[in-house]
Amino acid sequence: MWWHQHNLCFRHPVDEDYSGDLEEKVATIAETDESAESEGVIDSHKRREILSRRPSYRKILNELSSDVPGVPKIEEEKSEEEGTPPNIATMAVPTSIYQTSTGQYTATGDMPTYQIRAPTTALPQGVVMAASPGSLHSPQQLAEEATRKRELRLMKNREAAKECRRRKKEYVKCLESRVAVLEVQNKKLIEELETLKDICSPKTD
DNA sequence: TCAATCGCCCGTCAGGGGCA
DNA sequence: TGCCCCTGACGGGCGATTGA
């Protein structure tokens, strides 16, 4: 398992706990024996290092999908993000309707439109590096440039965080569907085993 | 009715990874 | 090596729920 928020002491009541449990469930059912790093006490620094090195949802899910045909991949969405420069006012925030490569998840409805808004900062949108550092003279200009860069970075990170959370939700949904499939498989196998036992066991009467 | 709690979402920061 | 992206962590806001 890569995800052990449920073992950490700084419990944050957001979705991390839920997805962590879910992954544990998937791992248990699928009997994929990841390392037993959660055993015992790991100091917070090490835990943080372990957590930070966990692969991205996209990677995990895509690897998963290569192993299991039924698991959909998370789309790259490069058409939105790479098609337009990031500092153009037409920030293409992913809509509440999205779909995976298999079209399994088509609508989440979890991103209300009232929350999708244009950046409200005073950032001069559309002005791409109007003043290079070499052409700046006064300290005021330098300060303005630094502020502008910070605003741009924050805006990009804001959008990246939204996208990351959206992917995480999709990832959790995929895990949920996989849990359901594996549970059904497990049930069938148990039933099959019982049937075979009945057939093969000698009648002692 | 109202304070406490919960669940969800958001923005921001920090730090690791990928890439030119 | 620096820049940029991704994501865990954190703190805060807000609406819904719950128990006194």
Interval A13-52: pLDDT, tens: 333 333 444 455 544 444 333 333 333 333 333 333 333 3
Burial class for A130, CB neighbours closer than 10 Å (0-12, 13-18, 19+): exposed
Provide the pLDDT for residue A60. 58
Distance A74 CA to B2 C1' (A): 45
Which of the 78-97 residues on chain A come under 7 Å of nucleic strand B at their beta carbon?
Answer: none
Q: Beta carbon of A168 within 7 Å of strand B?
A: no
User: Does A193 have pLDDT greater than 70?
Assistant: yes
Q: Which nucleotide is nearest to A150 (CA to C1')?
A: B12
Residue A64: how many other CB atoms lie within 10 Å: 20
Per the structure, the residue whose CA is closest to nucleotide C9 at C1' is A12
Q: Which of A114-118, A153-157, A162-166, A191-195 has the lowest mean pLDDT?
A: A114-118
pLDDT in tens, A60-77: 555 555 555 445 555 443
Provide the pLDDT for residue A185. 96
Q: What is the DSSP string of A141-188?
A: HHHHHHHHHHHHHHHHHHHHHHHHHHHHHHHHHHHHHHHHHHHHHHHH
Per the structure, the residue whose CA is closest to nucleotide B5 at C1' is A13
Question: Could you say which nucleotides of strand C lie within 7 A of any protein CB atom?
Answer: 4-12
Provide the pLDDT for residue A28. 47
Determine the Cα angle at A69 with ends A63 and A72, to 5°: 65
